[in-house]
Structure 1
């Protein structure tokens, strides 16, 4: 199929893009990498009257060091982020996760900010930025504002973005000493949407006891799901096999209410949550001990 007719704009600045959004509101869509939007338009699942192409705007594809962390422009290609030495040093969870995202051909064009703003509940990067405690920098006609990643997702494909706003930058804060990360997922084939996935972050003290934990799950809800009960169960515990098994069981039984579809039943997704947490947390804990 072909997309419905639309007007096309290619602004040269963020201010120009925001002015176009303010003019057209709900009738407009921003085009970043287009790996989700263009297929939806071709099937006429999305029919924007106005398409605003961000690819000419300078500066949105920057990766910069920031107070021990890193800032990633919304138009940074996923493949560029995957290969970035700055991101690998300051946000290694992103580097570990990106090979799981679709296929290399998709990542060559797809953008970090586009995936985050699209808010697909089966996408990896939204869960990762929640696990990392990222801050999202938004711009609109009223100026700039910052939203915590955990507050950004509001429901199925829903975000805190207003119709006249755009995501311009993702800020990943510096990791504290003793912090480790891990990512894992299960899909029918590599590159398919995940049936379930986990992005984990833990911090331990010199005795190996857990000081903090963040477990963000994907493809088990309407957006990234934090396993709050499992996180609480880990605090103060040495991350032994038994402690991790108990936390994984808690997450699968109390933290998620996953949907079922033709690919997986709710019960199977619960089982995947349990298995994936038991896989990811030992790796995160080992990295945390090495980071002391």
Structure 2
């Protein structure tokens, strides 16, 4: 049974595993995910062995805390639920806990109560997203015990994506879902993503996946359906197909619409 992701994440792939299960490989050795985010594909596939990574240290700390101390984290989320209001939200947003479980609980609390579940930091590296409309900190879908048991089978790393992809071998499976950095929509998140993930990073990712493809690694990656991105992967002989998704990140209802993305695959 697939687990429900415990985070809301911009560009999350719940829609992909719901509508396009047939695109994933049936068998593979180790699962690699270099842009973990909410981990929708990981929770859907439920792999026996996995290497999960992200450049976001707070994100990986949250996963590690659930793996190592899910009961303590759940207790802290209950306290956050009891105390939640506007004043408490901004108090917690300004906090900098040191204990890993407290850091993880703060991260999940802010994710669930901030505007649209967006993760964004300022130039000083401080989380700066305003409070949102959702008030539930404890969700009916929470199953931190099962998430912890699954994560015991995974290696969690804070690192650059290239390091993770380079570690994959024949018959492993890499799923790469990078930040989308071309102006294919109006969701207000593009400029921030461009700072996170430059065009040079897009090229470096394509090269990393190309090398993995040539090692016999099973590859699946998502990206914006943009000519410049398509050309990167067409030149490297990947299989490319377009699919539509519904985007709901925009604060403006008229800007929430169907957008095309591409699925890039090899050896599947």
* Bucket of the pairwise TM-score, normalised by the shorter protein: under 0.3
* TM-score with structure 2 setting the length: 0.25
The structure with the greater share of residues assigned to strand is: 1
More relative contact order, 1 or 2 (CA 8 Å, 6+ apart): 2
* TM-score with structure 1 setting the length: 0.24
Give the number of the structure whose alpha-carbon radius of gyration is greater.
Answer: 1
